[in-house]
Amino acid sequence: MKELNNKNCFLTGAASGIGRSFALALAKEGINLFITDINMEGLVKVKEEVEALGVKVIAEKCDVSKFEDFDRCAKQFHSKLGDVDLLINNAGIARGVLLENINLDDWKKVIDVNLWSIIYSLKAFIPKMLERGSGHIVNVASAAGILGSPEPLSYMASKFGVVGISEGLYGQISRFGIKVSVIIPLYIKTNIFFSGEEAKYPKKLVDGIGEEKLQEISQSMLEEMYDKAKSPDSVVKKYIAQIKKDQLYIYDSKGLLSVLAMKGANPKQYEEFLVKLNRDFRTSREAHFSKFGINLDDYL
């Protein structure tokens, strides 16, 4: 999709982070927007910012884990804006805890928001796109959707699912004139760092150090990661440039490409990489706790 001016976009998770940056950057390109979120306070603020840029904007609540919300919004979209040219499935959550504390409710919540959302969105929007033979679907996945990492397993499973749907769709739907892209962000400075559930730690550690101290340490670990992350405005500019080129995979970190190549060309080395990545994560967590005078080995 080379030209965005005067086109229509449906966007989820627009109240914050990557979604907010998408809304503002697309409005600057002259695209009309139907922005959605569950955080209505944040969404109304983004709507005001977008309106100031002179495009049409509609803001509605859409809980992406509910098909009825997509169905309602899709009907409103078609009656108020017309055809969907760009469908951006961005909303997502990161929660889930250490392997020792698998929580089935967390799993369900993450899969509902991150994966079922894509299925519901396709069900709501694809029929009219197929009828018309045009449109571009953009799914926001994650580096945790192409490589094994120390992220929660539920998050990885959901994002691998998003990547799988996107690849399959790309092959199946291109003959109907519909484009597909999947975005693979890696550490972007957004609220997702802080909006997940508080980390749960093994009982021995909680009893030894206290819940409050543990949360303070977790928070400072997240803040360190956040400080190193990239700005959402800067990556979204790159995402839009690649959407305009109708590219399937959209990355913001070139470093990922060599690891992906390794996965195909040298499986043994990749297995070692997976183990090392987790070891490095544990080492850096231990180092962080030691800054607070705590030796994690004494508690795990």
Ligand X SMILES: NC(=O)c1ccc[n+]([C@@H]2O[C@H](COP(=O)([O-])OP(=O)(O)OC[C@H]3O[C@@H](n4cnc5c(N)ncnc54)[C@H](O)[C@@H]3O)[C@@H](O)[C@H]2O)c1
Interacting residues toward ligand X by CB under 6 A: 12-13, 15-19, 37-39, 42, 62-65, 90-94, 113, 140, 142, 185, 187-188, 190-192, 195, 229
195 or 220: CB nearest ligand X: 195
Question: Which of 120, 155, 201, 251 is labelled catalytic?
Answer: 155
Measure the N-to-C terminal CA separation of the chain; round to a whole number of Å.
52
Q: Could you confirm whether 155 is annotated as catalytic?
A: yes
Least Cβ distance, residue 84 to ligand X (angstroms): 17
Least Cβ distance, residue 300 to ligand X (angstroms): 27
Closest CA relative to residue 190, chosen from 142, 132, 147: 142
Least Cβ distance, residue 210 to ligand X (angstroms): 28
Least Cβ distance, residue 81 to ligand X (angstroms): 19
3 or 68: CB nearest ligand X: 68
55 or 62: CB nearest ligand X: 62
38 or 169: CB nearest ligand X: 38
Q: Which residues are catalytic?
A: 155
